[in-house]
Chains A and B, each alone.
Chain A
Amino acid sequence: MSRYLKYLMIAFGRVFAYPSYILLASTCAITAFLLAVWFPNLGLIVQIFSGTDTPLTAKFGIMFSLLGGISTNFSPFSAAYTIAIAVLFGFTAAMIVYLLRQRRLAAAGRNIAISSGAMASGVLGIGCAACGSLIAGAILPALGATGALALLPLNGEEFGILSVVLLFISLALISKSIAEPMACPIAQPTTAQQP
């Protein structure tokens, strides 16, 4: 555990020494957060922005005020994991780009796969879990699993927790790839005796 913490610190030091990676991580985190909060009302946003009779100030005013939904339309727990998902996604994305630019494609590919799983799980957990306006609430009945959410102890918020866990795993593995030296280890000399 402490080994991974060390990797994490080394990797953060290397990647975020460049302002461009800080900018990339922030952009990804903010985008993920905005999408999560606006997600239940994307239809309204499209309607307002495609309407020609709505003043621009009103359009942006509504979009901005919808961000307050993080406190009114999320439980403290779901708000916490939504923010955590956004932040971890930002870090992960920036570090994957760093790996790609180092041409360490195998490590990047493995981490892209884990992060994609994490984000898919995060998307399932987004929304008002307690009241069914999350994607899982729409998908499960379509799969003939009506009532499945009620069987989950946290009514679907499990997907959010899973997402945070997966993103942490991904981040730890990426950090290991970045922190470890890019060289083949020297083979240990064999001590077997010659016949």
Chain B
Amino acid sequence: MFIEKLTGALMMGLLLLTGFANVQAAQQNAADPVLVEQIRDAVMKELRESGTMDRAVDAGISRYLERERAEAAQREQSEAGKRATALRPVVKGRDHIRGNPDAPVTLVEYSDFECPFCKRFHLTAKKLVDESKGQLKWVYRHFPLDELHPVKARKEAAASECAAELGGNDAFWKFADRFYELTPSNNRTNIDKVLPQIAREIGLDSAKFASCLASGRHDRRVTEDQQNAVATGGRGTPWSLIVSKSGKIFPLSGAQPYATIKQLVDLALQDK
């Protein structure tokens, strides 16, 4: 675009010069096409040889790239802004938090208990929190993918909420750890057997657990988490948001390697 403008400007200059030359020539004598041609060539030669044209083109390209970069950054900021607005704030009483609740960096994970990649990511996130020396907290939210894991993923999410209701935050995390340890993922979990078994193993009252699960009272909360996952940009699981103290968000899709998440956490820690 800039090059077109520059060419236009040069052409205009040439026309003016040509016009000027023509006027002079007309004043002096009749119009001399040879003289006009000579002036035009001389101007072009001067522009080329002095490097003026190259410098102008370079400067124009630089300005264009700078403008493009700024626009991309602005678009991304606007996306990040939407995400930050959509992200439901972390609340101690409501959310399941692992690690130091006052940690400056938060990893909010939206997860599906039947997803094999969530199972893998669970171990990575656990390792990161354990090694963070209180700098990172992990918040677990539900994102059951009904299209891929109908019934089971949602039921398992509700079961984990029952564990939290009956045994608190610790019971939730014990449930999640044990669930991922025991189950094969991808709809192959025998939920009628495994859910009561885990409840027993982590010391919950089996009757109360069964009654809570049958009541469906946590279904709404699971749906709210799922809606929040979609609102923040989640399209699959695990979907994670790494949030710095100032509220800057780094979105991460999938079970990415430890090294990636560690670097993002370090970046978030630098953002005061």
Q: Are A131 and B259 in contact (CB under 8 A)?
A: no
Q: Are B147 and A43 in contact (CB under 8 A)?
A: no
- Is B267 an interface residue, CB under 8 A from the partner? yes
Q: Give chain A's interface secondary structure class.
A: helix
Instruction: Tell me the count of chain B residues lying within 8 A, CB to CB, of chain A.
Output: 42
Q: Are A147 and B150 in contact (CB under 8 A)?
A: yes
Option from A53, A58, A127, A150 in Cβ contact (under 8 Å) with B150: A150
Contact with A along B138-169 (1 / 0, CB 8 A): 00000001111110000000000000000000
- Is A31 an interface residue, CB under 8 A from the partner? no
- Is A132 an interface residue, CB under 8 A from the partner? yes
Option from A44, A68, A75 in Cβ contact (under 8 Å) with B259: A68
CA gap between A149 and B80 in the complex, in Å: 30
Q: Are B147 and A150 in contact (CB under 8 A)?
A: yes
Q: With A69-B256, A141-B147 in contact, do A58 and B263 touch (Cβ < 8 Å)? A: yes
Contact with B along A131-144 (1 / 0, CB 8 A): 11110011011000
CA gap between A46 and B264 in the complex, in Å: 14
Option from A51, A54, A133, A140 in Cβ contact (under 8 Å) with B254: A133
Q: Are A128 and B254 in contact (CB under 8 A)?
A: yes
CA gap between A122 and B112 in the complex, in Å: 25
Q: Are A65 and B259 in contact (CB under 8 A)?
A: yes
- Is A130 an interface residue, CB under 8 A from the partner? yes
Contacts of A137 in B (CB 8 A): 147-148, 235-236
Contact with A along B116-147 (1 / 0, CB 8 A): 11101000100000000000000000000111
Instruction: Tell me the count of chain A residues lying within 8 A, CB to CB, of chain B.
Output: 40
Contacts of A150 in B (CB 8 A): 147-150
Q: Are B147 and A130 in contact (CB under 8 A)?
A: no
Contacts of A147 in B (CB 8 A): 146-147, 150
CA gap between A73 and B260 in the complex, in Å: 12
Q: Are B147 and A134 in contact (CB under 8 A)?
A: no
Q: Are A41 and B235 in contact (CB under 8 A)?
A: no
- Is A40 an interface residue, CB under 8 A from the partner? yes
Q: Which of B72, B148, B271 has the most CB of A within 10 A?
A: B148
The 3 closest A-B pairs by CB, nearest first: A133-B236, A68-B257, A73-B254
Write the residues of chain B forming the contact surface with A, with a CB cutoff of 8 angstroms: 69, 72-73, 76, 79-80, 112, 115-118, 120, 124, 145-150, 185-186, 233, 235-239, 250-257, 259-260, 263-264, 266-267, 271
